[in-house]
C-alpha cells in the first residue's frame, strides 16, 4: 500500500521502434533543463549499439508520468520527460538517424533482418508517477549521484536548474539571442511540474522546502517564471560575443561543452566580477560548499537582478574585445588557455578603458610576446596556468602579471 508522500512507479517495456517514434514525435523528451548535456564519446555509443544488437540487457530508462500538453495545432497529447537515460536514448535515436556508424556501417547499411532485430529490442521503463517537485528532484539527484560521468558543474546546474541566476548563466553560454530559449525554458519547466490535481500553492510550498536556508525571493515560483526571467531577456539579446568566447574560441572542446565545462568557467569568471574581486578561490561548486549554495540563492533574488544586468552589459563589451584579442593571439601562446581566459576577462573588465586608450590589439599581443621573451618570466607564467590554476593566490598572481605587463606604474 502506498502511503501519502510515497512514490508510485510502474515497470514496463517498449520496443525501440516505439521509443524512437516517441522521441521523433516529442512525446518522450530528454532535452529539458534538468538534464545534463550529452557526455558520451564514440566508444560509449558503439558499446551500447553492440549490447542491443547482441541482445544483452541494458538498465531501465526512468521517465516521469505523462503531462497533458497542447500542441501547435491546438491538439493535446501526453508528454513524458526523461529523468535518467538520456545518453542511451540519444544514442539510439542518432544511430537510427544515421548520425554515426557501428562497425563501419550506418544503420541504413545493415541488413533488413538486423534492422528488424534492432527495432524489436525491448527497453525496460520505470515510470515515476509523482507530482511532487521535491521528490522529483530527489529522484534525479539520486539517479545521477552514482553516475561516474557526472561532474560537479553538471550536478550544480541540475540541482539548481530552477534558480533564475543559474537559468541566466546557462542561457549566457548557450545562446546568441535568448528570446526563443527563454520562452522554451518557461514552457518546458511548467510542463514538467504541471499536474491538474495540484494547485499552485502546493507547488510553491514544495519549492520552499527545497533549500533549508534561503531568502523569500531565492527560489523561482514556476507560475511567475515569465516575470523572473523578463529582466534578463533584453541583455541576453545580441549575445553573440559571449557565446563565441565560451563555444568557438578553441578553448573549449566539443566534449567539454557537452559536459558544461564552459558554464563552469563562466560562473567562475562572472561571479568574480559580481563580487568586485580580482579572483575567487577555486570553482563555483554546490556539491561541497554551502557558501556557493547561498551565493546562487542570493544572486537569484530580486535584489540582485539590477546589479547582474548592469555588470553583464559591460561584460558583453569585454567579451567583444576579448574575442578580437584572441583572434590575434597565437593559439600556441602560453596565454591561450582557459586559465588565462579567466584572468584576461577579469583584468579587461576593470582596465579596458586604459587598455584601449593606450594600446591597439596588435600592441596588446606584442606586449605579451615581449614578456614571454624573458625565459624566466615565461617559465613562471607557464607554471601559473598548469599547477593549482583555480587557487585564489594563483589567479591573483596571473592578474598581477598582466598589471606588470600593461601598467607597471599602477602599483608603485
38-78 confidence digits (pLDDT tens): 567 778 888 899 989 988 888 888 888 767 777 677 778 78
pLDDT of res. 289: 65
pTM: 0.63
Report the distance separating Cα 228 and Cα 28, nearest Å.
28
Reported residue count of the chain is 412
What does the mean pLDDT of the chain come to?
80
pLDDT average, residue stretch 323-339: 95
200 — pLDDT class (breaks 50, 70, 90):
very low
Whether 273 maps to a domain, the answer reads no
219 — pLDDT class (breaks 50, 70, 90):
very low
* Higher per-residue confidence, 261 vs 316: 316
Domain hosting residue 105, numbered range = 1-145
- Terminal Cα distance for the chain, rounded: 75
Whether 351 maps to a domain, the answer reads no
pLDDT over threshold 80, residue 214 = no
pLDDT of res. 135: 62
pLDDT over threshold 50, residue 215 = no
216 — pLDDT class (breaks 50, 70, 90):
very low
Whether 28 maps to a domain, the answer reads yes
Residue 13 main-chain phi, psi, to 5 deg: -150, 150
Contact status, residue 27 vs residue 93, Cβ threshold 8 Å: no
pLDDT of res. 154: 58
And the C-alpha cell for 196?
491538474
Whether 162 maps to a domain, the answer reads no
Report the distance separating Cα 192 and Cα 19, nearest Å.
19
226 — pLDDT class (breaks 50, 70, 90):
low
pLDDT over threshold 60, residue 150 = no
The number of domains in the chain is 1
pLDDT over threshold 60, residue 134 = no
pLDDT of res. 288: 63
27 — pLDDT class (breaks 50, 70, 90):
confident
pLDDT of res. 403: 96
And the C-alpha cell for 271?
561571479
pLDDT of res. 153: 61
What are the CA-CA distances from residue 127 to residues 122, 159, 397 (Å)? Answer: 15, 21, 52
Distance of CA 390 to the CA centre of its chain: 19
pLDDT digits (tens, 9 = 90+) for 332-385: 999 999 999 999 999 999 999 999 999 999 999 999 999 999 999 999 999 999
pLDDT average, residue stretch 263-282: 93
pLDDT of res. 249: 86
pLDDT over threshold 90, residue 118 = yes
Whether 291 maps to a domain, the answer reads no
Q: What is the percent of the chain where pLDDT is above 70?
A: 72
Most confident of the ranges 76-80, 97-101, 230-234: 97-101
225 — pLDDT class (breaks 50, 70, 90):
low
- Name the residue with cell 542491443: 52
And the C-alpha cell for 141?
539527484
pLDDT of res. 267: 94
pLDDT over threshold 90, residue 83 = no
According to DSSP, the residues that pair with 64 across neighbouring strands are: 128
* Higher per-residue confidence, 159 vs 100: 100
pLDDT over threshold 80, residue 165 = yes
Range of lowest pLDDT (279-283, 285-289, 331-335):
285-289
Amino acid at each position: 500500500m502506498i502511503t501519502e508522500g510515497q512514490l508510485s512507479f510502474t515497470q514496463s517495456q517498449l520496443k525501440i521502434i516505439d521509443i524512437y517514434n516517441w522521441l521523433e514525435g516529442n512525446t518522450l523528451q530528454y532535452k529539458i533543463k534538468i538534464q545534463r548535456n550529452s557526455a558520451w564519446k564514440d566508444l560509449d555509443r558503439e558499446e551500447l549499439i553492440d549490447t542491443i544488437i547482441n541482445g544483452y540487457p541494458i538498465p531501465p530508462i526512468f521517465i516521469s508520468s505523462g503531462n497533458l500538453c497542447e500542441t501547435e495545432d491546438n491538439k493535446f497529447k501526453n508528454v513524458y520527460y526523461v529523468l535518467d537515460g538520456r545518453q542511451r536514448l540519444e544514442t539510439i535515436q542518432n544511430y537510427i538517424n544515421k548520425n554515426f556508424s557501428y562497425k563501419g556501417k550506418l544503420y541504413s547499411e545493415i541488413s533488413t533482418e538486423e534492422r528488424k532485430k534492432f527495432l524489436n529490442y525491448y527497453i525496460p521503463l520505470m515510470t515515476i508517477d509523482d507530482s511532487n517537485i521535491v521528490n522529483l528532484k530527489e529522484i534525479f539527484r539520486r539517479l545521477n549521484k552514482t553516475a561516474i560521468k557526472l561532474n560537479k558543474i553538471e550536478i550544480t546546474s541540475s540541482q539548481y536548474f530552477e534558480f533564475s541566476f543559474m537559468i541566466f548563466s546557462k542561457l549566457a553560454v548557450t545562446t546568441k539571442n535568448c528570446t526563443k530559449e527563454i520562452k522554451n525554458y518557461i514552457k518546458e519547466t511548467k510542463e514538467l511540474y504541471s499536474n491538474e490535481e495540484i494547485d499552485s500553492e502546493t507547488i510553491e510550498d514544495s519549492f520552499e522546502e527545497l533549500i533549508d536556508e534561503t531568502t523569500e525571493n531565492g527560489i523561482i515560483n514556476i507560475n511567475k517564471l515569465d516575470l523572473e526571467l523578463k529582466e534578463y531577456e533584453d541583455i541576453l539579446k545580441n549575445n553573440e560575443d559571449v557565446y563565441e568566447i565560451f563555444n568557438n574560441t578553441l578553448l573549449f572542446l566539443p566534449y567539454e561543452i557537452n559536459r558544461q565545462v564552459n558554464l563552469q568557467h563562466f560562473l567562475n569568471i562572472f561571479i568574480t566580477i559580481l563580487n568586485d574581486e580580482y579572483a575567487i578561490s577555486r570553482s563555483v561548486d554546490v556539491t561541497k560548499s554551502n557558501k556557493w549554495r547561498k551565493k546562487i540563492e542570493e544572486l537569484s533574488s530580486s535584489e540582485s537582478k539590477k546589479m547582474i544586468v548592469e555588470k553583464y552589459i559591460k561584460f558583453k563589451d569585454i567579451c567583444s574585445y576579448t574575442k578580437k584579442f584572441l583572434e590575434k593571439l597565437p593559439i600556441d601562446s602560453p596565454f591561450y588557455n582557459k586559465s588565462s581566459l579567466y584572468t584576461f576577462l577579469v583584468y579587461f573588465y576593470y582596465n579596458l578603458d586604459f587598455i584601449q586608450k593606450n594600446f591597439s590589439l596588435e600592441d596588446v599581443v606584442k606586449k605579451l610576446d615581449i614578456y614571454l621573451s624573458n625565459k624566466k618570466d615565461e617559465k613562471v607564467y607557464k607554471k601559473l596556468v598548469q599547477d593549482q590554476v583555480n587557487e585564489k593566490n594563483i589567479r591573483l598572481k596571473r592578474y598581477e602579471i598582466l598589471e606588470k605587463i600593461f601598467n607597471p606604474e599602477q602599483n608603485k
